[in-house]
Structures are given as structure tokens and as C-alpha cells.
Chains A and B, each alone.
Chain A
Amino acid sequence: MQRRHFLKNTMVTGAAVLAASSGLLVPGQVFAAWNKDAFTAKDVPGAMKGAIGSDSAETSDKIKIKAPPIAENGAVVPVTISSTLGDVKSITIISEKNGTPLIAKFNMGAGTEAYISTRIKMGKTSNIIAICESGGKFYKAQQEVKVTIGGCGG
């Protein structure tokens, strides 16, 4: 019994040490781990709460979303988000009518500009919401993209 206990204990500590050291080896890991709750949330308020900790954000015209008004293929929708808000800490992209609305969150380090360009999947015609975190506050902007062929569930 004693021995069993000992083995179990060493294994647990061993694992913990391993986890800690592997964490140290990857400097990028200073940022949060993958946010499962936010990415599996089924509605926009849930996704926003998970991603930014609040379901409301002020509408701002200082955020620019560049996306096609009509996307032929929902599997590949190019989206560019830029902002003239100062000191943007993060940019979150949400597609309102996707099964899981949260698409991505980009955390910016110092010296990184408020500019992100990527390609996303959209299930159907809906609004793209971009949320920027600046000075501890959240600002959002949205744009509608019409999708003729859905990109989710092909």
C-alpha cells in the first residue's frame, strides 16, 4: 500500500514538472491556453463572454472591416480588420450565424499594429463582428457578408 502510494505520488509530481518545463520551453505560451468554452459557444453573447469576458461592446467607427459584400464560397471568405484605436490589445472575429460564432481571437503584443488579415469559413449569410480591445474597453464594428454557398458542413 505504501509503495503504491509512493509510486502514484512520484508519477503525479513527475507529470507536473514535465508540464511546467514544457511550458517554459515554449515562450509563446505566456498567452492563455485555448479557450474551449468560447469556441464551442453556440450563440453570439456566449462567444463574446467567453472571448472577451463581456457580451457588450461599444460600436465604433474606428474599426474597419474589409470583407466582400457577397462571398461566392463560404469556405473561404477573406477578411481584413484594421483599427485606428490606439493600443489595441486584441482583435476578435465573430460570424453571427455560424454554428459556433467565435472564429478567432488575435492577441497583440507591444509593437504589433491593429491589423489582421485572414480567411474564414461562413455557414450562411450573416454579419461579421470585429471586436477590438483598447485601453481596457471593447469596441465593435460589423459588416454583412452574403454567402451563396455555405462553408460549414459542406
Chain B
Amino acid sequence: MAKKSIKVRAKAKNDVITVKALITHIMETGLRKDKKTGKVIPAHFIQSVDCEHNGKAAMNAEWGPAISKNPYLSFKVAGKSGDTIKLTWTDNKGNSDSLEAKAK
């Protein structure tokens, strides 16, 4: 994937990093129909988001299709400014993308 699909903001305050992430993804449920053709639009959604903090697994999210389009995710992990946060997502079609960011 050429274009980065993830935006991450990580801010450290009082030894806690607040990570906010936005992922660009259509998150199709597989239930909607195309209005013109009447055909069901196949499901296409993110199934898993992994987050690493300084190379260690900090959080893993298992998602169903009921997460909104262009998902937003925020969580908090103990750490300090300068730590690396890495986010990786994988969808049901096997596509994936990842991004590394430094906590500010």
C-alpha cells in the first residue's frame, strides 16, 4: 500500500502515553446493497489491530464489521516521551498496513 492509511498521535503526560489513531478504511459490513445493481457489497473490514509500545505488545484489538468507517481508536499505555508506538492493522482480505510513531 503506497499511501499511509494510519494517522497516529501519541502524547506522553505523567508517565502515561495517550495514543490516538485514525485509520482510513471502508469497513464494509457485507450487509449493504449496491443501490444500482441490487447486489450485496462484499464484506471488507479490519479484523485486527496490533499495537506495540517499544517493541512489546501493548494492545490487540479484535474488530467485527460494526466498527465505524475510517475507524478511530484511542488507548493509554504507561510510558514516556520518545517511546515508539507501532500500529498494525489487518483486514479480512489480508491487506495490512503499519505505522510507527514517537510519543511526544
Contact = CB atoms under 8 A, between A and B. Distances in A.
Contacts of A99: 31
A102 interface: yes
Interface string B21-61: 00000000101100000000000000110111101111111
B68 A121 contact: yes
Interface stretch (A8-16, A109-117, A139-147): A109-117
A12 to B, nearest CB: 21
A53 to B, nearest CB: 14
Interface string A64-93: 000000000001111010000000000000
A121 B66 contact: yes
A120 B67 contact: yes
B75 A107 contact: no
Contacts, number: 126
The SS class assigned to the A binding surface is: mixed
Given A28-B52, A105-B61, A106-B60, A112 B75 contact: yes
Given A116-B75, A153-B31, A104 B68 contact: no
Interface of B: 16, 29, 31-32, 47-48, 50-53, 55-69, 71-79, 88, 92
A-B CB proximity, top 6 nearest: A28-B50, A117-B74, A31-B60, A119-B68, A113-B76, A39-B64
